[in-house]
Structure 1
């Protein structure tokens, strides 16, 4: 066993993170204990549970991180810091939006960081499953997928590896209520990753535009999916998914509109949100959750 105490720059509202993460039934969260059990993998792709527990406050954020094998400590700590964006200072973001047209939302949800999915394959598959589905059924379908083909360790579910999904027949996903197209998209993309045709580990070194160009060529991956991968897989700070219904509804509510805003209106409002569009997106989602 290993344990490390990490200090994070304030403000940092961990309770808001946990509340948001409880919407996914696969996440193992203890709200009373202010903790989450992360299903991570070590460099050999072996499953390893890392417990992240808040022991500080919003204005003095401190975390206790513990794991299993000492040999995995450095790699897994790096992953935890990446997922929870502990090395990103939120103060410049908060200052940027103080005088913006989203000032009220940012004041209400101050200190809410952008939290990433637990690994890039996990993020890509989840985004593909969630395409064109209501959120409740999307979570159910994703849970079925993971609980059928992933692995469980001490009550924590781990997403399957691409190699496992690459070997499936489309009918095996159809049995879980996947549409035929969605089954093809998930399995075919997993085969590309397992075969080395798509190398996810190369994506962090590419620009947003290069990643968009690369991924939209793959059948079943459109701009909405790529934007979500950039946002929740890679933590890119300046993403604003114009076609996202949740963001449209949040803007309709925030600006007191009778109908959803037009693309032109969204582009005009968002001019003053650069270079932190991703935070505008996150806080708009938060405002209607």
Structure 2
């Protein structure tokens, strides 16, 4: 058991409400906990993150598997990365109080950007979700993970790239994947298995370097990469202008007659910089 105190505000209840959208996540909103599947040196480990504090004074208890104590520092570091506990939500909130987004930052006070549990998971999920409604996208992702992933203590782990690389298009077609999506995910996993794409190296690269590298692969476009940068790697200053949800959120918030143009949206960005990712998240939240 490890106790972690962080600076508030940090609204874990709103974190859980967003995580609950994904049926793969194991959590309890009333008891205020979530079980997180992570891998340390490729060993699957389940960490229960239990909130004990409040939004203003957040305190968390981490319940770890019975594993080598030398792993504990790495596990805590990974949980801090996923839940963005080292980001000052107070500084971000105060920044947006001086902008036209202050209303939604008050409504969703202290909501952090919580990351997908691994960038590979994020890439695969983004490819699956392309051009699907959210409900079926989550259903298809769950089928994929529960068919080819692994389960520990009731928690599901995404399959490793080397597992997916051995699948056939017909394997994924049986789950209702399109032929193209099946090809995209299998081909990407093969590139990772061959060592042509090092997922862990993405942590150290700039947004521009990652964009250049990932655009080489079929099925990965700008929208997918922006989502991976945002929710896979936790980059703070991304704003997907082409996202229809964000356009609708701005239209609703500013009471516009029609969705804003690209030029109108670009004119808003300097005021929200350098926290464009949080502007994106809170705009999405405002219409969820």
Q: TM-score, normalised by structure 2?
A: 0.98
1:158 equivalent in structure 2:
157
Q: Secondary structure at the match of 2:241?
A: coil
Q: CA deviation at 1:30?
A: 0.7
Q: CA deviation at 1:258?
A: 2.5
Point out where structure 1 has 5 or more consecutive residues left out of the alignment: none
Q: Secondary structure at the match of 1:133?
A: coil
Aligned mates of 1:194, 1:121 — CA distance in 2: 12
Q: Secondary structure at the match of 1:286?
A: helix
1:235 equivalent in structure 2:
234
Aligned mates of 1:284, 1:231 — CA distance in 2: 14
Aligned mates of 1:251, 1:120 — CA distance in 2: 28
2:138 equivalent in structure 1:
139
Aligned mates of 2:260, 2:130 — CA distance in 1: 21
2:17 equivalent in structure 1:
19
Aligned mates of 2:168, 2:155 — CA distance in 1: 26
The answer to whether structure 1 residue 251 and structure 2 residue 239 are counterparts is no
Aligned mates of 2:161, 2:70 — CA distance in 1: 25
Aligned mates of 2:266, 2:131 — CA distance in 1: 23
Aligned length: 286
Q: How does 1:132-211 map to 2 (within 5 A)?
A: 132-211=131-210
Q: CA deviation at 1:256?
A: 1.2
Which contiguous aligned blocks of 4+ residues in structure 1 show a shift greater than 3 angstroms? none
2:38 equivalent in structure 1:
40
Aligned mates of 1:120, 1:174 — CA distance in 2: 24
Equivalent residue in structure 2 for 1:67, among 61, 64, 67: 64
The answer to whether structure 1 residue 55 and structure 2 residue 52 are counterparts is yes
Aligned mates of 1:189, 1:143 — CA distance in 2: 19
Aligned mates of 1:6, 1:22 — CA distance in 2: 23
Aligned mates of 2:106, 2:31 — CA distance in 1: 26
Q: CA deviation at 1:259?
A: 2.2
Q: Deviations over 1:178-197 (max 9, x none)?
A: 11110000000000011101
Aligned mates of 2:11, 2:116 — CA distance in 1: 18
Q: Secondary structure at the match of 2:48?
A: strand
Q: TM-score, normalised by structure 1?
A: 0.97
Aligned mates of 1:142, 1:72 — CA distance in 2: 29
1:275 equivalent in structure 2:
274
2:87 equivalent in structure 1:
88
Q: CA deviation at 1:205?
A: 1.0
Q: CA deviation at 1:95?
A: 1.1
Aligned mates of 1:217, 1:193 — CA distance in 2: 13
Q: Deviations over 1:258-285 (max 9, x none)?
A: 2222111111122210000000000001
Point out where structure 2 has 5 or more consecutive residues left out of the alignment: none
